[in-house]
Amino acid sequence: MKAYRILLYYLYTPIEDCLAYREEHHRFCLENNLLGRVIVAPEGLNGTVSGLAEDCQRYMDWLHADPRFAAIQFKIEEHEQHAFHKLHVRVKEEIVNSDLPVDPLKQTGVHLEPNEFRQLMNDPDVVLVDMRSNYEHNVGKFKGAITFDMENLRELPDHVTEIEHLKGSGKKIITYCTGGIKCEKASAYLLHQGFENVYQLHGGIIRYGLEEGGENFDGECYVFDGRVTAPVNHVNPEIISTCHVCGTTTSRMVNCANPECNEHLPICEQCGWDMDGACSDTCRTHPRKRPYNGQGYYPKKFEDYTPVMGFKSAQGSFRKE
């Protein structure tokens, strides 16, 4: 049993005074030695944090004790240490950037629990649709899934035509993403665009891996913490990505050491050292290239950030991030 836990969660639920709750939430995380990223928005809460097992349990109990967040479903993974370097609790307009004209509290696709998803995923009348960014599905995705070449969920409307042929086909469309949050809006948007028989994997890839072993997920799952990728398939794993530099098979994902590039790319360990963490010779010799430590993960640095105060404006109040 490893000493630390990584928690991933979200919940669409109205939050009235986001700034006040942001301060309360931030204070609790500080007092309980938690690191990670939490987004507070009028539409709900979205977070991923790490800490010692007992601190994470205290955090989950605290959130569940609040009637607004009693329904939060946590994805819990073990880890040897903190998966984050900082604590960020921010107020934003949405808990996942989308700009889609939908409200998950009013309509979404049918939620499939991991065991239901596993039973359906190989049905010939089922089409799996990946709602993640290209750098995420390039390193791992479900067998046979449709993927879109998009940088973020805001681009989904530009790609809906790629599955237009599924309208009226009688096929079951199952959307999936890392933890389930993108699918709440993505599945709602598909329904809004006239698609029928729309479903979503409840809890996403991570929960499916934890509860059902991750069968038929090829590669690794891109995660937004210091691990960069995490294995989810313990049944029939297969690596699908290849090193950007030499072309050998690898599931190792890095950010280019040149901050002006910062591309998320699969780069094998040997090429990581040979290229000093960069994706090309141009980036390797760039004057702003960051020192490479063999990991390929570079947490952002903020001049106005401190763990206790977070981000402060000149007036001394927490500003909306």
236-255 per-position pLDDT tens digit: 999 999 999 999 999 999 99
79 and 169 assigned to the same domain: no
For residue 80, the enclosing domain spans: 4-95
The catalytic residue among 29, 56, 177, 271 is: 177
Considering the domain architecture, whether residues 118 and 214 belong to the same structural domain is answered as: yes
Domain contains 63: yes
Tens of pLDDT, residue by residue over 290-299, are 999 898 888 7
252 within a domain of the structure (yes/no): no
Q: How many domains does the chain fold into?
A: 2
Instruction: Give domain status of residue 243, yes or no.
Output: no
Residues 139, 85, single domain; the answer is no
User: Radius of gyration (Cα) for the chain, nearest Å?
Assistant: 20
Q: Is the pLDDT of residue 235 over 80?
A: yes
CATH (domain of 19): 3.30.70.100
Average pLDDT of the chain to the nearest whole number: 93
Query: Residues 54, 141: one domain?
Result: no
What's the CATH number where 119 sits?
3.40.250.10
Q: Which pLDDT does position 298 carry in this prediction?
A: 81
Is residue 42 domain-shared with residue 90, that is, in the same domain? yes
Q: Is 177 a catalytic residue?
A: yes
User: Is residue 290 assigned to a domain?
Assistant: no
Does 158 map to a domain?
yes
Specify the pLDDT at position 308.
63
